[in-house]
């Protein structure tokens, strides 16, 4: 799979660390993806709702299938998020720009997930050719 294929075939993005603050990168990037037609599932234990969607305390609490787990958390939080992504049957892990974790990425790949590290999903989507 490629990043282009992932973005073209995915419909649901769980955003771990999504902030309700409009000046935060997680909010702007996720609002863009929402406007592009993706179903957004916020994962942030501090809020009941973000961007008009019900927010969940953990990825393990999300009751529906997830195509992309988009991570806006510090690298030390990535291994636990990857384990939860594997448990819920997510198809991919996306670590936003500046976020990498080689061991967690390897674990995700061994479990069959497509992994992207240190890359902005907004920038990758914006460069896709128009349909």
All structural domains of the chain = 3-126 (3.40.50.720)
Nearest to 91 by CA among 78, 108, 74: 108
For residue 131, the model assigns a pLDDT of: 56
Q: What is the rounded average pLDDT of the residues 103-124? A: 98
Average predicted confidence (pLDDT) for the chain? 96
Nearest to 106 by CA among 73, 83, 122, 72: 83
pLDDT tens digits for range 10-52: 999 999 999 999 999 999 999 999 999 999 999 999 999 999 9
Query: In which band, very low, low, confident or very high, does the pLDDT at 101 lie, cut at 50, 70 and 90?
Result: very high
Nearest to 77 by CA among 30, 18, 17: 17
pLDDT above 90 covers a percentage of the chain that reads 97
**Residue corresponding to tokens 């992932």:** 6
Rounded Cα distance between 79 and 74, Å, is 10
For residue 68, the model assigns a pLDDT of: 98
């Amino acid at each position: 799979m490629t990043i282009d294929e992932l973005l073209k075939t995915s419909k649901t993005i769980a955003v771990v660390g999504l902030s309700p603050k409009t000046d935060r990168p997680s909010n702007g990037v996720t609002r863009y993806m929402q406007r592009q037609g993706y179903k957004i599932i916020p994962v942030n234990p501090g809020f009941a709702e973000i961007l008009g969607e019900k927010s969940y305390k953990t990825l393990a609490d999300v009751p529906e299938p997830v195509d992309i787990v988009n991570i806006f958390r510090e690298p030390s939080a990535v291994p636990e998020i990857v384990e939860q992504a594997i448990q819920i049957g997510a198809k991919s892990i996306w670590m936003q720009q500046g976020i990498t974790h080689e061991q967690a990425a390897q674990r995700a790949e061994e479990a069959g997930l497509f992994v992207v590290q240190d890359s902005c999903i907004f920038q990758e989507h914006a460069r896709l050719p128009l349909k």
